[in-house]
Amino acid sequence: MEEMSFWDHLEELRWCIFRMLIALAVAFAGVFIALPHIFDDWILGASKADFFAYKWIGLVLGPGEDVPIININVASQFLTHMSVAMWLSLLVVFPFMVYQLWVFVKPALYPGEIKGVRMAFGGSTLLFYLGCALSYVLIFPITFRFLTQYRLGGEITNTISLNSYMSIFLTMTFIMGVVFELPVLAWLLGKLGIVNKGMLRGWRRYAVVVLLVLAAAITPTGDPFTLLVVFLPLYLLYELSIVLVPRSSQIVDS
């Protein structure tokens, strides 16, 4: 295969980004049109007492109730429509964007590296969606239920605005998606010889403290139950990272 020049690589990158933007624009148009039909049942699902996740959450937090979502700004509904359509479009085209990145970097890899990088791209995509799904079906509903049922005083009534609901919903969903990339990051660092199993095992006690702080930052609630619900998946991801990384780094072995 003929070696490509710097400008050839730049041209390939330009077309790679262009294809991503086209796919994102098409997805945005489709999601924008479909969003009003799925907004009430799916995105606002946690505000309803019959949300499917509450069948199990209710065993711990008690029965729930419908929580009305109000709008207090003139342009909020339109702006929310635009922003949610963009975020959901990113979710839809994320695998295609990962594939385009793979197509771009593949020619620069040695044959022995292709399998590992392919696994990294595929694993990162899967883990990102798992993190988003866990937030949607468990972490966000628990957090939302706790916050809406919390009462500082008996005369205070919670009134939840659309902006407040969507801010927590989108932030928690995408943060959990990013956090779930931890095993892939650990695997890549292991391949580069930066970390190994022994190092991660030795750091376990410190990792527990860091993960607890991270879990507290992800969840705006301060109750131990919600903190534990977020902490456990993060800790399991850390243990999975220990399984995935090599026993010793290649740099040390050499």
SS3 state at 217: helix
User: What's the confidence (pLDDT) of residue 179?
Assistant: 87
User: What's the confidence (pLDDT) of residue 190?
Assistant: 81
User: What's the confidence (pLDDT) of residue 130?
Assistant: 92
Burial class (CB in 10 A: 0-12, 13-18, 19+), 184: buried
User: What's the confidence (pLDDT) of residue 63?
Assistant: 64
User: What's the confidence (pLDDT) of residue 122?
Assistant: 82
Burial class (CB in 10 A: 0-12, 13-18, 19+), 229: buried
Any idea how long the chain is?
254
Q: 10 Å Cβ neighbour count for 111?
A: 6
User: What's the confidence (pLDDT) of residue 224?
Assistant: 75
User: What's the confidence (pLDDT) of residue 107?
Assistant: 75
Q: Locate tokens 């975020």: which residue?
A: 87
User: What's the confidence (pLDDT) of residue 24?
Assistant: 94
User: What's the confidence (pLDDT) of residue 62?
Assistant: 62
pLDDT tens for the chain, 254 residues long, are 456 666 676 778 888 899 999 999 999 999 999 998 889 889 998 888 888 888 776 656 666 688 899 998 888 899 999 999 999 999 899 888 888 887 777 777 677 667 777 777 788 888 999 999 999 988 888 888 878 877 777 778 888 899 989 988 988 888 888 888 888 888 878 877 788 888 888 888 899 999 888 888 777 655 677 778 788 888 999 998 888 887 754 433 33
Instruction: For the chain, give every domain's residue range.
Output: 1-162, 181-254
Burial class (CB in 10 A: 0-12, 13-18, 19+), 72: exposed
